[in-house]
Structure 1
Amino acid sequence: MMTGLTPRLFVAVPLPAAQKKLLDSWGRERKREWPFGRWVFREDYHITLQFLGNCSEEQIKKMIPALHKLAAEQAVFSLAVQGLGTFGRPEQPRILWAGVGGELELLHQLQQQVVQSLAPIGFLPDDRPYRPHITLARKYQKNHFPLQSLQQLQLWKTGDTTWKVKEIVLYETRLGRQPMYHALERFPFKK
Protein backbone atom coordinates (compact mmCIF):
# COMPACT_ATOMS: atom_id res chain seq x y z
CA MET A 1 0.00 0.00 0.00
CA MET A 2 1.18 3.53 -0.72
CA THR A 3 2.50 5.34 2.31
CA GLY A 4 1.62 8.94 3.02
CA LEU A 5 -1.02 9.05 0.29
CA THR A 6 -4.63 7.96 0.32
CA PRO A 7 -4.86 4.96 -2.04
CA ARG A 8 -7.39 4.92 -4.90
CA LEU A 9 -9.09 1.55 -4.87
CA PHE A 10 -11.65 -0.50 -6.77
CA VAL A 11 -13.10 -4.01 -6.58
CA ALA A 12 -12.97 -6.13 -9.73
CA VAL A 13 -13.13 -9.55 -11.33
CA PRO A 14 -9.62 -10.41 -12.59
CA LEU A 15 -9.03 -11.97 -16.00
CA PRO A 16 -6.94 -15.12 -16.36
CA ALA A 17 -3.62 -15.04 -18.23
CA ALA A 18 -5.00 -16.73 -21.38
CA GLN A 19 -7.72 -14.10 -21.90
CA LYS A 20 -5.28 -11.27 -21.13
CA LYS A 21 -2.90 -12.65 -23.75
CA LEU A 22 -5.63 -12.86 -26.40
CA LEU A 23 -6.86 -9.31 -25.71
CA ASP A 24 -3.31 -7.95 -25.74
CA SER A 25 -2.51 -9.67 -29.03
CA TRP A 26 -5.70 -8.31 -30.62
CA GLY A 27 -4.92 -4.80 -29.34
CA ARG A 28 -1.37 -4.84 -30.69
CA GLU A 29 -2.74 -5.57 -34.16
CA ARG A 30 -5.00 -2.46 -33.96
CA LYS A 31 -2.63 0.10 -32.42
CA ARG A 32 -1.27 1.38 -35.73
CA GLU A 33 -4.65 1.84 -37.41
CA TRP A 34 -6.52 3.13 -34.33
CA PRO A 35 -4.64 5.99 -32.62
CA PHE A 36 -5.92 5.90 -29.05
CA GLY A 37 -4.08 8.00 -26.45
CA ARG A 38 -3.44 4.96 -24.29
CA TRP A 39 -3.87 1.23 -24.75
CA VAL A 40 -4.39 -0.70 -21.52
CA PHE A 41 -1.37 -2.71 -20.35
CA ARG A 42 -1.91 -6.48 -20.58
CA GLU A 43 -1.77 -7.12 -16.81
CA ASP A 44 -4.33 -4.38 -16.11
CA TYR A 45 -7.35 -6.01 -17.84
CA HIS A 46 -10.26 -6.53 -15.41
CA ILE A 47 -14.02 -6.15 -14.99
CA THR A 48 -14.80 -3.44 -12.44
CA LEU A 49 -17.46 -4.25 -9.86
CA GLN A 50 -17.23 -1.00 -7.88
CA PHE A 51 -14.92 1.99 -8.06
CA LEU A 52 -14.18 3.21 -4.53
CA GLY A 53 -11.86 6.17 -5.09
CA ASN A 54 -9.58 7.45 -2.33
CA CYS A 55 -9.85 5.28 0.78
CA SER A 56 -8.72 5.79 4.35
CA GLU A 57 -6.88 3.08 6.28
CA GLU A 58 -9.95 2.79 8.51
CA GLN A 59 -12.17 2.09 5.50
CA ILE A 60 -9.70 -0.49 4.16
CA LYS A 61 -9.63 -2.27 7.54
CA LYS A 62 -13.43 -2.54 7.41
CA MET A 63 -13.81 -3.47 3.75
CA ILE A 64 -11.36 -6.41 3.74
CA PRO A 65 -13.36 -8.58 6.18
CA ALA A 66 -16.62 -7.54 4.47
CA LEU A 67 -15.28 -8.68 1.09
CA HIS A 68 -13.89 -11.93 2.54
CA LYS A 69 -17.33 -12.67 4.03
CA LEU A 70 -19.03 -11.90 0.71
CA ALA A 71 -16.58 -14.07 -1.29
CA ALA A 72 -17.01 -16.98 1.12
CA GLU A 73 -20.70 -17.10 0.14
CA GLN A 74 -20.07 -17.03 -3.64
CA ALA A 75 -20.16 -19.96 -6.03
CA VAL A 76 -17.85 -20.14 -9.05
CA PHE A 77 -19.48 -19.03 -12.32
CA SER A 78 -18.47 -18.61 -15.98
CA LEU A 79 -17.84 -15.49 -18.04
CA ALA A 80 -16.57 -14.95 -21.58
CA VAL A 81 -15.05 -12.11 -23.55
CA GLN A 82 -17.70 -11.28 -26.14
CA GLY A 83 -18.01 -8.42 -28.62
CA LEU A 84 -16.57 -4.94 -28.88
CA GLY A 85 -17.92 -1.45 -28.29
CA THR A 86 -17.16 2.12 -27.33
CA PHE A 87 -18.24 4.75 -24.82
CA GLY A 88 -18.36 8.41 -25.77
CA ARG A 89 -18.93 10.10 -29.11
CA PRO A 90 -19.02 7.51 -31.93
CA GLU A 91 -16.55 9.46 -34.07
CA GLN A 92 -14.12 10.06 -31.18
CA PRO A 93 -14.70 7.48 -28.44
CA ARG A 94 -13.46 7.96 -24.91
CA ILE A 95 -13.21 4.19 -24.30
CA LEU A 96 -12.77 1.13 -26.54
CA TRP A 97 -13.96 -1.99 -24.71
CA ALA A 98 -14.45 -5.73 -25.01
CA GLY A 99 -17.83 -6.96 -23.86
CA VAL A 100 -18.64 -9.65 -21.34
CA GLY A 101 -20.87 -12.67 -21.89
CA GLY A 102 -21.62 -15.86 -20.01
CA GLU A 103 -23.48 -16.01 -16.70
CA LEU A 104 -24.21 -12.28 -16.63
CA GLU A 105 -27.05 -12.58 -14.13
CA LEU A 106 -24.56 -13.96 -11.59
CA LEU A 107 -22.08 -11.19 -12.40
CA HIS A 108 -24.79 -8.54 -11.85
CA GLN A 109 -25.77 -10.21 -8.54
CA LEU A 110 -22.13 -10.21 -7.44
CA GLN A 111 -21.79 -6.53 -8.33
CA GLN A 112 -24.91 -5.67 -6.31
CA GLN A 113 -23.63 -7.67 -3.33
CA VAL A 114 -20.29 -5.83 -3.42
CA VAL A 115 -22.11 -2.47 -3.47
CA GLN A 116 -24.39 -3.53 -0.58
CA SER A 117 -21.46 -4.88 1.47
CA LEU A 118 -19.46 -1.65 1.12
CA ALA A 119 -22.31 0.86 1.54
CA PRO A 120 -22.15 0.76 5.39
CA ILE A 121 -18.45 1.69 5.14
CA GLY A 122 -19.33 4.86 3.23
CA PHE A 123 -19.10 3.86 -0.43
CA LEU A 124 -22.10 5.05 -2.39
CA PRO A 125 -23.39 3.13 -5.41
CA ASP A 126 -22.79 4.59 -8.86
CA ASP A 127 -25.75 6.52 -10.33
CA ARG A 128 -25.32 4.85 -13.72
CA PRO A 129 -26.52 1.33 -14.49
CA TYR A 130 -23.87 -1.37 -14.26
CA ARG A 131 -22.37 -2.13 -17.70
CA PRO A 132 -19.67 -4.80 -17.33
CA HIS A 133 -16.81 -4.45 -19.82
CA ILE A 134 -13.04 -4.75 -20.19
CA THR A 135 -11.39 -1.45 -21.11
CA LEU A 136 -8.91 -1.90 -23.99
CA ALA A 137 -7.97 1.69 -24.89
CA ARG A 138 -8.74 5.30 -23.95
CA LYS A 139 -9.12 8.64 -25.78
CA TYR A 140 -9.25 8.22 -29.55
CA GLN A 141 -6.94 10.89 -31.00
CA LYS A 142 -8.73 11.64 -34.30
CA ASN A 143 -12.31 12.50 -35.35
CA HIS A 144 -13.23 9.54 -37.56
CA PHE A 145 -13.29 6.31 -35.58
CA PRO A 146 -14.43 3.42 -37.87
CA LEU A 147 -17.34 2.28 -35.69
CA GLN A 148 -18.97 0.25 -38.49
CA SER A 149 -15.85 -1.87 -39.00
CA LEU A 150 -15.65 -2.45 -35.23
CA GLN A 151 -18.98 -4.32 -35.30
CA GLN A 152 -17.64 -6.69 -37.98
CA LEU A 153 -14.36 -7.53 -36.23
CA GLN A 154 -13.79 -10.66 -34.20
CA LEU A 155 -11.68 -10.34 -31.10
CA TRP A 156 -9.64 -13.35 -32.19
CA LYS A 157 -9.87 -16.29 -34.51
CA THR A 158 -8.68 -19.01 -32.12
CA GLY A 159 -8.61 -19.48 -28.38
CA ASP A 160 -11.22 -19.96 -25.72
CA THR A 161 -12.75 -16.75 -24.44
CA THR A 162 -14.52 -18.43 -21.49
CA TRP A 163 -13.20 -18.69 -17.95
CA LYS A 164 -14.37 -19.51 -14.43
CA VAL A 165 -14.68 -16.62 -11.99
CA LYS A 166 -13.23 -17.90 -8.72
CA GLU A 167 -12.37 -14.68 -6.89
CA ILE A 168 -12.67 -10.93 -6.70
CA VAL A 169 -9.77 -8.56 -6.08
CA LEU A 170 -9.29 -5.24 -4.29
CA TYR A 171 -7.00 -3.24 -6.58
CA GLU A 172 -4.98 -0.10 -5.90
CA THR A 173 -4.32 2.33 -8.76
CA ARG A 174 -0.66 3.29 -9.10
CA LEU A 175 -0.53 6.04 -11.70
CA GLY A 176 2.50 6.10 -13.97
CA ARG A 177 3.44 2.45 -13.36
CA GLN A 178 3.09 -0.75 -15.37
CA PRO A 179 1.07 -2.57 -14.34
CA MET A 180 -0.99 0.36 -13.04
CA TYR A 181 -3.31 -1.82 -10.93
CA HIS A 182 -1.85 -3.64 -7.94
CA ALA A 183 -3.79 -6.38 -6.13
CA LEU A 184 -3.98 -5.36 -2.46
CA GLU A 185 -6.06 -8.37 -1.45
CA ARG A 186 -7.66 -11.36 -3.16
CA PHE A 187 -10.99 -12.80 -2.05
CA PRO A 188 -11.39 -16.42 -3.24
CA PHE A 189 -14.86 -17.92 -3.56
CA LYS A 190 -15.44 -20.75 -1.09
CA LYS A 191 -18.41 -22.56 -2.68
Structure 2
Amino acid sequence: MFDALDPTKRDAQQRLEQAVGEGRLTLEEFTDRVGQVWQATEPASIRRALADLPAPVPPAQVTTGRFTIDKVFDDISRGGRFALASGARLTSFFGDVRLDMRQVVLSEPVVDLAVSSVFGDVRVTVPPGIAVEVDASTWFGDKDIQVLGTAPLPGSPRVRLTAQTVFGDVRVTTRS
Protein backbone atom coordinates (compact mmCIF):
# COMPACT_ATOMS: atom_id res chain seq x y z
CA MET A 1 0.00 0.00 0.00
CA PHE A 2 1.19 3.53 -0.77
CA ASP A 3 1.13 5.33 2.61
CA ALA A 4 0.11 9.02 2.80
CA LEU A 5 3.14 9.62 5.04
CA ASP A 6 5.46 8.13 2.45
CA PRO A 7 8.61 10.25 2.03
CA THR A 8 8.03 10.23 -1.74
CA LYS A 9 4.83 12.24 -1.27
CA ARG A 10 6.46 14.62 1.19
CA ASP A 11 9.38 15.19 -1.19
CA ALA A 12 7.01 15.77 -4.11
CA GLN A 13 5.06 18.31 -2.11
CA GLN A 14 8.27 20.13 -1.17
CA ARG A 15 9.20 20.38 -4.86
CA LEU A 16 5.78 21.84 -5.61
CA GLU A 17 6.08 24.30 -2.69
CA GLN A 18 9.43 25.42 -4.04
CA ALA A 19 7.98 25.83 -7.54
CA VAL A 20 5.08 27.98 -6.31
CA GLY A 21 7.46 30.01 -4.13
CA GLU A 22 9.72 30.66 -7.13
CA GLY A 23 6.77 31.73 -9.25
CA ARG A 24 6.86 28.71 -11.55
CA LEU A 25 3.34 27.60 -10.59
CA THR A 26 0.18 29.58 -9.94
CA LEU A 27 -1.86 28.98 -6.79
CA GLU A 28 -4.39 27.01 -8.83
CA GLU A 29 -1.69 24.83 -10.43
CA PHE A 30 -0.14 24.23 -7.00
CA THR A 31 -3.42 23.08 -5.41
CA ASP A 32 -4.20 20.79 -8.37
CA ARG A 33 -0.78 19.13 -8.33
CA VAL A 34 -0.57 18.74 -4.55
CA GLY A 35 -4.01 17.14 -4.66
CA GLN A 36 -2.75 14.67 -7.28
CA VAL A 37 0.26 13.83 -5.12
CA TRP A 38 -1.75 13.14 -1.98
CA GLN A 39 -4.39 11.12 -3.86
CA ALA A 40 -1.77 9.03 -5.67
CA THR A 41 -1.85 5.31 -5.08
CA GLU A 42 1.32 4.54 -6.99
CA PRO A 43 4.68 6.28 -7.59
CA ALA A 44 3.94 6.79 -11.31
CA SER A 45 1.06 9.15 -10.42
CA ILE A 46 3.43 11.29 -8.37
CA ARG A 47 5.97 11.39 -11.18
CA ARG A 48 3.23 12.59 -13.57
CA ALA A 49 2.32 15.43 -11.18
CA LEU A 50 5.96 16.61 -11.23
CA ALA A 51 6.98 15.69 -14.79
CA ASP A 52 6.21 18.98 -16.53
CA LEU A 53 7.12 21.48 -13.81
CA PRO A 54 8.07 24.75 -15.51
CA ALA A 55 11.80 25.49 -15.51
CA PRO A 56 13.12 28.01 -13.00
CA VAL A 57 12.82 31.64 -14.10
CA PRO A 58 16.18 33.39 -14.57
CA PRO A 59 16.74 35.92 -11.75
CA ALA A 60 16.80 38.88 -14.17
CA GLN A 61 13.20 38.11 -15.22
CA VAL A 62 11.72 37.72 -11.74
CA THR A 63 9.34 40.52 -10.78
CA THR A 64 8.74 41.46 -7.18
CA GLY A 65 4.96 41.44 -7.44
CA ARG A 66 4.71 44.41 -5.08
CA PHE A 67 2.52 47.03 -6.68
CA THR A 68 0.09 49.83 -5.92
CA ILE A 69 -2.90 50.63 -8.10
CA ASP A 70 -4.96 53.74 -7.32
CA LYS A 71 -7.91 54.78 -9.48
CA VAL A 72 -10.44 57.60 -9.25
CA PHE A 73 -13.83 57.31 -11.02
CA ASP A 74 -12.74 53.98 -12.49
CA ASP A 75 -12.85 50.27 -11.70
CA ILE A 76 -9.82 48.09 -11.01
CA SER A 77 -9.93 44.59 -12.44
CA ARG A 78 -6.97 42.25 -12.14
CA GLY A 79 -6.84 38.57 -13.05
CA GLY A 80 -4.85 36.03 -15.01
CA ARG A 81 -1.28 35.11 -14.25
CA PHE A 82 0.72 37.77 -12.40
CA ALA A 83 3.21 37.92 -9.52
CA LEU A 84 1.98 39.04 -6.12
CA ALA A 85 4.17 39.92 -3.15
CA SER A 86 3.42 41.19 0.32
CA GLY A 87 2.60 44.88 0.44
CA ALA A 88 0.55 45.05 -2.77
CA ARG A 89 -2.35 47.53 -2.59
CA LEU A 90 -5.38 48.25 -4.80
CA THR A 91 -7.57 51.29 -4.08
CA SER A 92 -10.46 52.77 -6.04
CA PHE A 93 -12.48 55.92 -5.33
CA PHE A 94 -15.91 55.84 -7.00
CA GLY A 95 -15.23 52.44 -8.58
CA ASP A 96 -15.21 48.72 -7.91
CA VAL A 97 -12.16 46.55 -7.23
CA ARG A 98 -12.23 43.02 -8.68
CA LEU A 99 -9.28 40.72 -8.01
CA ASP A 100 -9.17 37.13 -9.29
CA MET A 101 -6.29 35.34 -7.55
CA ARG A 102 -6.80 31.87 -9.04
CA GLN A 103 -3.76 32.16 -11.33
CA VAL A 104 -1.65 34.41 -9.12
CA VAL A 105 1.97 33.47 -8.49
CA LEU A 106 2.91 34.27 -4.88
CA SER A 107 6.55 35.18 -4.38
CA GLU A 108 6.50 34.69 -0.61
CA PRO A 109 5.04 32.06 1.76
CA VAL A 110 2.88 34.73 3.45
CA VAL A 111 1.46 37.62 1.42
CA ASP A 112 -0.24 40.66 2.96
CA LEU A 113 -2.62 42.34 0.52
CA ALA A 114 -4.76 45.48 0.98
CA VAL A 115 -7.82 46.10 -1.20
CA SER A 116 -10.16 49.05 -0.67
CA SER A 117 -12.86 51.12 -2.31
CA VAL A 118 -14.86 54.24 -1.53
CA PHE A 119 -18.29 54.26 -3.23
CA GLY A 120 -17.66 50.87 -4.82
CA ASP A 121 -17.56 47.13 -4.15
CA VAL A 122 -14.56 44.91 -3.39
CA ARG A 123 -14.69 41.41 -4.92
CA VAL A 124 -11.84 38.91 -4.42
CA THR A 125 -11.77 35.33 -5.75
CA VAL A 126 -9.24 32.82 -4.37
CA PRO A 127 -8.56 29.20 -5.38
CA PRO A 128 -9.50 26.34 -3.06
CA GLY A 129 -6.81 24.78 -0.88
CA ILE A 130 -5.04 28.06 -0.08
CA ALA A 131 -4.96 29.47 3.45
CA VAL A 132 -6.75 32.83 3.40
CA GLU A 133 -7.19 35.13 6.39
CA VAL A 134 -9.68 37.93 5.77
CA ASP A 135 -9.98 41.14 7.77
CA ALA A 136 -12.91 42.95 6.15
CA SER A 137 -14.63 46.13 7.18
CA THR A 138 -17.49 48.05 5.60
CA TRP A 139 -19.22 51.30 6.33
CA PHE A 140 -22.70 51.32 4.85
CA GLY A 141 -22.25 48.00 3.06
CA ASP A 142 -22.35 44.23 3.48
CA LYS A 143 -19.65 41.61 4.01
CA ASP A 144 -19.88 38.20 2.34
CA ILE A 145 -16.85 36.04 3.15
CA GLN A 146 -17.07 32.48 1.81
CA VAL A 147 -13.56 31.03 1.83
CA LEU A 148 -14.36 28.04 4.01
CA GLY A 149 -15.00 24.53 2.83
CA THR A 150 -11.70 23.22 1.53
CA ALA A 151 -8.98 22.85 4.13
CA PRO A 152 -5.69 24.49 3.16
CA LEU A 153 -3.21 22.03 1.72
CA PRO A 154 -0.14 21.30 3.85
CA GLY A 155 2.65 23.74 2.98
CA SER A 156 0.38 25.98 0.93
CA PRO A 157 1.04 29.72 0.85
CA ARG A 158 -1.00 32.01 3.11
CA VAL A 159 -2.76 35.19 1.99
CA ARG A 160 -3.66 37.80 4.61
CA LEU A 161 -6.25 40.01 2.94
CA THR A 162 -7.38 43.34 4.35
CA ALA A 163 -10.50 44.49 2.48
CA GLN A 164 -12.28 47.76 3.22
CA THR A 165 -15.08 49.71 1.63
CA VAL A 166 -17.20 52.75 2.34
CA PHE A 167 -20.63 52.74 0.66
CA GLY A 168 -20.00 49.35 -0.95
CA ASP A 169 -19.86 45.61 -0.30
CA VAL A 170 -16.94 43.27 0.36
CA ARG A 171 -17.20 39.79 -1.13
CA VAL A 172 -14.45 37.16 -0.86
CA THR A 173 -15.18 33.75 -2.39
CA THR A 174 -13.40 30.51 -3.21
CA ARG A 175 -13.79 29.14 -6.73
CA SER A 176 -11.80 26.65 -8.77
TM over 0.5: no
- Which of structures 1 and 2 has the larger relative contact order (alpha carbons within 8 angstroms, sep 6+)? 1
**TM-score band (shorter)?**
under 0.3
TM-score (norm 2): 0.22
